[in-house]
Amino acid sequence: MDSNADAVVIGGGIFGASAAHFLAKKGFGNIVLLEKRSLAAVSTGHSAANVRTYYSNPMTVQLAWKAVQMFERSEELLGGDCGFDQIGFLLLIDEENRIPGKHILEMESSNGVEVKDMSVEDLKELAPDMNTEGLIGGIYEVRSGYADPIKTTKSLAYKAKDWGLKVYEGVEATGISLEGDRVTGVSTSDGFISTPVVINAAGPWGNQVGSWVGLNHSIRWSRETDMAVHLPPNFGRMPVVSDPSLVFYYRPQGQGELVAGLGFPKEIEPVDINSYDETLDPDSRHRIERKLFERLPVLKDAKYSHGWASLYTISDDWHPLVGKEDGLQGYYSCFAGSGHCFKLGPPIGEALADMIMGQDTSIDITALRPSRFKEGEPMTSAWGGGNRA
């Protein structure tokens, strides 16, 4: 274990791997990434990893659009193959969602995203097995898709070893030392590292790490489930689909499977983050299947493959806490990714690295500063709370 570093990143999910990658790439010096389990072991590795751009505020749209372009060129920009399957993303629109849908279409177009306004006939052509009853059309993001979250995290972390990043898996951060208001080091299960810069990317444990420097953000956690079914051999093509009408989403997984999960708004499912059921429970499976069979009746006899549960770490406005913490020198938060920060991990990690290095960011992310709630400036969403942000 190194005894000195220019920066220590706590947490090897998408946020920690991205921040560490870009700090190392930009030449910040010796960077250490600590992960108490293995890379992408918690929320990131269980993410549906949909990479799409429909959000209701310009900053998130710009970050997501940048993410699409990073995933398109992942070998060059994210360190390797991220398993990006660029099959497009379709947001289904019913009468109730006509107005927010129009807003989203305008928002995406005005931020340069390639989107198409789809009629019901277009939907039938794009996704022939879909039951379009109750729909009035859709919004199609041509360049979106989904990625492999574990490959992505590993590509970011392992490529950065070429620029001096040290990645320690199975090593837990256990404390942070301060001299006055200045960070001086991190205690770990494998010794002490002197450092002037710490990034808290501990995901669900972000508040635990923050408590070591006297912070306590308002955070909730929710247990979130996904399931996969085997596709019948004659199943037609489909993009990633978000269905606000039935409140769920689905997408293909490689050639032979489909992954589906519940959408928002829904009740969050409070959870003990240190001990929870990581399997798909029968009730969630039943709820997902009911929606799936309604939208895709041809799947009624499809064979169940597997399911899982993991964690959302949710801030009060459903946007992550990113940036320097007031009153502390050298301490940065980067957690509470809620339900949409797999895709935003790389652009946010890059912007945070720029901020730490005192450089301009290509997208201004100061709206995500952790002090925004105290200052009465939370983010807002046309859709209300939830992962549609």
Ligand X SMILES: Cc1cc2nc3c(=O)[nH]c(=O)nc-3n(C[C@H](O)[C@H](O)[C@H](O)COP(=O)(O)OP(=O)(O)OC[C@H]3O[C@@H](n4cnc5c(N)ncnc54)[C@H](O)[C@@H]3O)c2cc1C
Q: How many residues bind ligand X (CB under 6 A)?
A: 42
The residue among 112, 145, 181, 100 whose CA lies nearest residue 381 is 100
Task: Please tell me whether residue 205 binds ligand X under the rule CB under 6 A.
Answer: yes
Query: Sign (positive/negative) of CA torsion 71, 365, 16, 280?
Result: negative
- The DSSP code for 325 is P
- Pick one of 226, 243, 325, 354: the residue that binds ligand X (CB under 6 A): 226
- In the shown chain, the binding pattern of residues 360 to 389 toward ligand X, with x for contact by CB under 6 A and - for none, equals ------------------------------
Task: Please tell me whether residue 34 binds ligand X under the rule CB under 6 A.
Answer: yes
Question: What tokens appear for 323 in the block?
Answer: 């940036």
- Pick one of 209, 348, 356, 379: the residue that binds ligand X (CB under 6 A): 209
Given the complex with ligand X, which of 120 and 273 has the nearer CB atom? 273
User: Using N-to-C axis directions, what is the helix angle for 58-72 and 341-356, rounded to 10°?
Assistant: 100
Task: Please tell me whether residue 190 binds ligand X under the rule CB under 6 A.
Answer: no
For the bound state, the minimum distance from the C-beta of residue 91 to ligand X, rounded and expressed in Å, comes to: 13
For the bound state, the minimum distance from the C-beta of residue 32 to ligand X, rounded and expressed in Å, comes to: 11
Query: Sign (positive/negative) of CA torsion 14, 19, 23, 29?
Result: negative
Mapped onto helix, strand or coil, the DSSP state of residue 353 is: helix
Given the complex with ligand X, which of 136 and 228 has the nearer CB atom? 228
Q: Are 65 and 34 in contact (CB under 8 A)?
A: no
Question: What tokens appear for 177 in the block?
Answer: 């030392």
Task: Please tell me whether residue 13 binds ligand X under the rule CB under 6 A.
Answer: yes
For the bound state, the minimum distance from the C-beta of residue 96 to ligand X, rounded and expressed in Å, comes to: 23
For the bound state, the minimum distance from the C-beta of residue 203 to ligand X, rounded and expressed in Å, comes to: 3
Q: d(Cα 198, Cα 193) in Å, to the nearest integer?
A: 11
Q: Using alpha carbons only, how large is the chain's radius of gyration in Å?
A: 21
Q: Count Cβ neighbours within 10 Å for each residue of 367-385 and write b for 16 or more, e otherwise.
A: bbbbebbeeeeebebebee
- Pick one of 130, 135, 202, 260: the residue that binds ligand X (CB under 6 A): 202
Q: d(Cα 349, Cα 343) in Å, to the nearest integer?
A: 11
Q: d(Cα 197, Cα 194) in Å, to the nearest integer?
A: 9
CA-CA-CA-CA dihedral for 33, 34, 38, 39, to nearest 10: -30
- Pick one of 201, 296, 299, 348: the residue that binds ligand X (CB under 6 A): 201
For the bound state, the minimum distance from the C-beta of residue 195 to ligand X, rounded and expressed in Å, comes to: 14
Q: Which of 38-46, 76-84, 269-277, 295-303 is the region at the interface with ligand X (rule: CB under 6 A)?
A: 38-46
Q: Which of 42-50, 54-62, 120-128, 273-281 is the region at the interface with ligand X (rule: CB under 6 A)?
A: 42-50
* Closest residue to bound ligand X by CB: 13
- In the shown chain, the binding pattern of residues 97 to 136 toward ligand X, with x for contact by CB under 6 A and - for none, equals ----------------------------------------
Q: d(Cα 26, Cα 352) in Å, to the nearest integer?
A: 12
Q: Which of 23-31, 45-53, 98-106, 354-362 is the region at the interface with ligand X (rule: CB under 6 A)?
A: 45-53
Task: Please tell me whether residue 36 binds ligand X under the rule CB under 6 A.
Answer: yes
For the bound state, the minimum distance from the C-beta of residue 323 to ligand X, rounded and expressed in Å, comes to: 14
Distance of CA 94 to the CA centre of its chain: 26
- Pick one of 101, 339, 347, 349: the residue that binds ligand X (CB under 6 A): 339
Beta bridge partners of 324: 332
Q: Which of 107-115, 121-129, 211-219, 308-316 is the region at the interface with ligand X (rule: CB under 6 A)?
A: 308-316
Beta bridge partners of 243: 248
Given the complex with ligand X, which of 71 and 235 has the nearer CB atom? 71
Q: Are 152 and 344 in contact (CB under 8 A)?
A: no
Q: d(Cα 34, Cα 22) in Å, to the nearest integer?
A: 16
Which residues form the interface with ligand X (CB under 6 A)?
10-16, 34-37, 41-44, 46-50, 172-173, 201-205, 209, 224, 226, 261, 310-312, 335, 337-343
